[in-house]
């Protein structure tokens, strides 16, 4: 049985806990920390499940050792004593990601990474007479080393690429919101399969795609093609394929409708294509200026959820005007709706001019923002 650490963005820890409870994980196995949740007593099937289903997870790490160190050599010894051959073979490549905070032995995380790399190489060489190679760009196996003061955690990454990369995006968009954050916002706003969803500034359509996945109970990983655990020696392909089948069998119907607008025609195309990739082609996505068209779909109620431009290039007064105009549209055109606006421009967001039902601190990666939720009457 393994101890697992599931990382997420700061501010999403409680939603991640809720997701884990929904999967039937007993609260006694869960421990929250900053930017993540530890889960004890996990088997490989749990690890596959977390990677396939969790919407608010970024990475699932398996804890291989957690210890106090009194010298740099203690880190080498700990890594030297792990049975790496349980996880990967000498023919596979690996990479070490190390972080060292407040350590008297490791001023430099590169030194920690090199020691662990040496320990792994020495371990294989002693046991098998050969060593695996290091690949910084496309390693088969990624090992994480976290040194915090005098404690060290060595773990192996079961996810590979961050889990916000769901695999359904067709094109590159300049300022997308993270899929993980979009899913968390939809959950906080209480979105479900009977509601309509409208993003008036939809960009590449992340909120709309995540809304469809959430409402239909479609697994977050359904469109992803690869996870790091598939490279492990102990990968049980049959178990993973069974899990995929049983999770996909729980996909349900969506009885709401999805609407989107954006000023930029290219974004409209991207959103349509991304929605098509998740299996929803009947959305109404149009090129329009929200301030001119507002609720031109004439929909009675639903969830309006959006992340407008933060206005980094605007003066605060211009950004305030932009948000104030949004608030005016909400009041005039969307009575009966729930609205949610996420922005990292908190002063401008406050200028929206309506009293939020909830103000939720959330981070879009390193950017601190707020999700304001409104009931519009
Ligand atoms: C931060 S991006 C949204 C990103 C989107 N959530 C995604 O994940 O791709 C803001 C979007 O608002 C659009 N926009 C700006 N002003 C607008 C307006 N007045 N009406 C409609 N869309 C607008 C921009 O073209 C841009 O695509």
Distance 352 CA to ligand 1 centre (A): 17
DSSP state of 305: E
DSSP output for 156-176: EESSSS-TT--S---S--SSP
- Confidence at residue 312, expressed as pLDDT on a 0 to 100 scale: 61
Distance 329 CA to ligand 1 centre (A): 16
Measured from the CB, is residue 185 less than 6 Å from ligand 1? no
Q: Computed from CA positions of residues 89, 90, 91, 96, in that sequence, does the dihedral angle turn out positive or negative? A: positive
225 contact partners, CB below 8 Å, separation of at least 6: 167
Distance 298 CA to ligand 1 centre (A): 20
Distance 254 CA to ligand 1 centre (A): 25
d(CA 375, CA 377): 6
pLDDT in tens, the chain (377 residues): 999 999 999 999 999 999 999 999 999 999 999 899 999 999 999 999 999 999 999 999 999 999 999 999 999 999 999 999 999 999 999 999 999 999 899 988 999 999 999 999 999 999 999 999 999 999 999 999 999 999 999 999 999 999 999 999 997 778 889 999 999 999 999 999 999 999 999 999 999 999 999 999 999 999 999 999 999 999 999 999 999 999 999 999 999 999 999 999 999 999 999 999 999 999 899 999 999 987 778 888 999 999 998 766 556 668 888 999 999 999 999 999 999 999 998 988 998 999 999 999 998 878 899 999 999 99
Look at the block and give the residue holding tokens 């305030």: 320
Measured from the CB, is residue 16 less than 6 Å from ligand 1? no
**CA-200 nearest atom, ligand 1:** 21
For residue 172, the number of C-alpha atoms closer than 13 Å in the C-beta half-sphere is: 1
Pocket test for ligand 1, best of 203, 295, 310 (most atoms within 8 A of CB): 203
Q: In CATH, what is the architecture of 179-218+253-375?
A: 3-Layer(aba) Sandwich (3.40)
The torsion region of residue 283 among left (phi > 0), alpha (psi -120 to 50) and beta comes to beta
CB atoms within 10 A of CB 151: 12
Please tell me the residue having the least CA distance from ligand 1 atom 12: 201
**CA-289 nearest atom, ligand 1:** 20
For residue 310, the number of C-alpha atoms closer than 13 Å in the C-beta half-sphere is: 15
Look at the block and give the residue holding tokens 């729980």: 250
Instruction: Identify the CATH class of 2-157.
Output: alpha beta
- Confidence at residue 203, expressed as pLDDT on a 0 to 100 scale: 95
> Looking at the chain, which residues constitute the CATH 3.30.2130.30 domain(s)?
2-157
d(CA 239, CA 226): 15
3-state secondary structure 181-217: HHHHHHHHCCCCCCCCEEECCCCCCHHHHHHHHHHCC
Q: Which residues pair with 207 in a beta bridge?
A: none
- Confidence at residue 172, expressed as pLDDT on a 0 to 100 scale: 76
* Widest distance between CA atoms in the chain: 74
Burial class (CB in 10 A: 0-12, 13-18, 19+), 314: middle
User: What proportions of the chain, in percent to the nearest 5, are helix, strand and coil?
Assistant: 35, 25, 40
Contact 88, 143 (CB under 8 A): no
- From the list 220, 183, 187, 211, the residue with the least C-alpha distance to 60 is 220
- Confidence at residue 311, expressed as pLDDT on a 0 to 100 scale: 64
> Looking at the chain, which residues constitute the CATH 3.40.50.150 domain(s)?
179-218+253-375
Measured from the CB, is residue 214 less than 6 Å from ligand 1? no
């Amino acid at each position: 049985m393994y101890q697992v650490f599931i990382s997420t963005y700061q501010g999403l820890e409680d939603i991640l806990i809720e997701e884990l409870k929904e999967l039937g994980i007993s609260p006694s196995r869960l421990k929250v920390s900053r930017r993540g949740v530890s889960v004890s007593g996990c088997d490989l099937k749990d690890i596959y499940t977390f990677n396939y289903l969790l919407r608010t997870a970024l990475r699932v790490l398996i804890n291989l050792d957690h210890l106090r160190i009194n010298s740099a050599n203690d880190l080498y010894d700990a890594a030297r004593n792990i049975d790496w051959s349980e996880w990967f073979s000498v023919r596979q490549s690996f990479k070490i990601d190390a972080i060292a905070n407040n350590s008297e032995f490791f001023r430099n995380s590169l030194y920690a990474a090199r020691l662990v790399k040496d320990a792994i190489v020495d371990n294989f060489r002693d046991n098998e007479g050969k060593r695996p190679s290091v690949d910084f760009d496309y390693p088969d196996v990624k090992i994480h080393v976290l040194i915090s003061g005098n404690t060290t955690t060595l773990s192996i990454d079961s996810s590979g690429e961050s889990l916000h990369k769901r695999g359904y995006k067709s094109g590159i968009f300049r300022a997308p919101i993270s899929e993980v954050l979009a899913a968390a916002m939809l959950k906080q706003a209480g979105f479900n399969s009977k509601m309509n969803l409208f993003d008036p500034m939809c960009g590449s359509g992340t909120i709309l795609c995540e809304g469809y996945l959430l409402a239909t109970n479609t697994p977050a990983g359904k469109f992803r093609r690869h996870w790091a655990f598939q490279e492990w020696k102990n990968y049980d392909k049959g178990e993973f394929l069974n899990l995929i089948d049983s999770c996909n069998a729980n996909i349900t119907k969506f009885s709401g409708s999805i609407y989107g607008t954006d000023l930029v025609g290219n974004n409209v195309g991207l959103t349509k294509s991304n929605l098509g990739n998740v299996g929803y082609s009947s959305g109404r996505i149009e090129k329009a200026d929200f301030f001119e068209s507002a609720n031109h779909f004439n929909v009675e109620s639903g969830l309006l959820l959006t992340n407008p431009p933060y206005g980094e290039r605007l003066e605060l007064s211009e950004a305030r005007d932009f948000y104030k105009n949004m608030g005016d549209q909400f009041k005039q055109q969307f009575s009966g709706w729930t609205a949610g606006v996420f922005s990292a421009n908190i002063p401008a967001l406050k200028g929206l001019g309506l009293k939020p039902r909830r103000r939720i601190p959330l981070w879009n990666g390193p950017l601190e923002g707020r999700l304001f939720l409104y009931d519009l009457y």
